[in-house]
Amino acid sequence: MTTNKYILKKDSSFDIEHILECGQCFNFEKLGEKYYKITAFAKVLYIKQYEKEVHFFPCTTEEFKKIWTHYFDLDTDYNELKEILRKDDVLREAIAFGEGIRILNQDHFECLISFIISQNNRIPMIKSVVKNISENYGKKIIDGYAFPDVETLSKVSDEDLRACKTGFRSKYILDCCNKIVTNEINLKELEELSSEEMMKELLKIKGVGVKVANCTMLFSYGRGDSFPVDVWIKRAMEHFYFNDEEKPKDYIQSFGEEKFGDLSGIAQQYLFNYAIKTNFKK
DNA sequence: GCCCAGGGAATCG
DNA sequence: CGATTCCATGGG
């Protein structure tokens, strides 16, 4: 017999609000207190968090093991990672604002397009654009719309894409889709590359620079050595590590990569979350 | 009206 | 080369 709900025992390294509201994914909706609806891999999943349990539905145990265990990175021990990072005073403070953050393993294509949309944009707007694209061009699924596949999105006109409020990024999205459907870039095959080679491939896409590539590598390829540097991270790092002295972006990035190594990605995410939750400026 | 946003491409000097 | 400008859109 199969049940339609999967129950996860909760610890301090899983908080659905921290996971979703830390700026790493955009295809979700808040329904209530610690109660969310997410869309990923052409499925809608409801998640309700209680004090000691997290309920996922509709979802069988098999489905949870097959899809969501990896999506939520449940085989990684975040308590252990946090213990290491807390040796740094700044990180100890940052972790306190998002103890339940986990780095998701999102769909490559959706993640890549989402972060192309993210450039010079704000999180609520990114969510809105992703939603527009899904509702207009994604296939209808139970309780929502999937994010469209490459073939479908590649056939959408620049004008129609702009109607989804992509703005100047529409041509970037189309270039990305084009390079994938022509197999100039194969997102599945990128999994086998080193982080350095993967970065080189992603940078071939118009509208994808180092920051967007790093986000894609971190949030959909499990590359924890990636350290995305955006305006928030730059400001926060300059403040906490350089006494408010201005530094170039690539300098901040090298500093982060060297300081945190394979924990760069998660360290960056605690810092980013800390910065946006405290509205850290200057 | 002005400023800025999980940046990057195009253009300038 | 590095530095500046432009890009759509919407919220503060």
The predicted pLDDT at position A196 comes to: 98
Is A232 (CB) below 7 Å from strand B?
yes
pLDDT band at A51 (very low <50, low <70, confident <90, very high): very high
Query: Which residues interact with strand C by a CB < 7 Å criterion?
Result: A 120-122, 124-125, 162, 165, 167-168
Taking the stretch 20-49 of protein chain A, residues with Cβ within 7 Å of any atom in nucleic acid chain B are 22-24
The predicted pLDDT at position A281 comes to: 84
The predicted pLDDT at position A2 comes to: 56
Cα–Cα nearest to A263, from A229, A213, A224: A224
The predicted pLDDT at position A99 comes to: 98
Instruction: Give me chain A's average pLDDT, please.
Output: 97
Which nucleotide is nearest, taking the CA of residue A208 and each C1'? B8
The CA–C1' separation of A248 and B13, in angstroms, is 21
In DSSP terms, A30 is beta-bridged to A36
**What is the percent of chain A with per-residue pLDDT over 70, rounded to a whole number?**
99
Q: Is the pTM of this model over 0.95?
A: yes
Which nucleotide is nearest, taking the CA of residue A22 and each C1'? B6
Query: Which nucleotides of chain C does any protein CB come within 7 A of?
Result: 7-11
pLDDT band at A1 (very low <50, low <70, confident <90, very high): low
Q: How far apart are the first and last CA of chain A?
A: 57
What SS3 state is found at A268? helix
pLDDT band at A166 (very low <50, low <70, confident <90, very high): very high
The predicted pLDDT at position A282 comes to: 72
The CA–C1' separation of A126 and C9, in angstroms, is 11
The CA–C1' separation of A165 and B8, in angstroms, is 18
Helix, strand, coil abundance in chain A, percent, nearest 5: 50, 10, 40
The predicted pLDDT at position A253 comes to: 97
A90-141 pLDDT, tens digit each: 999 999 999 999 999 999 999 999 999 999 999 999 999 999 999 999 999 9
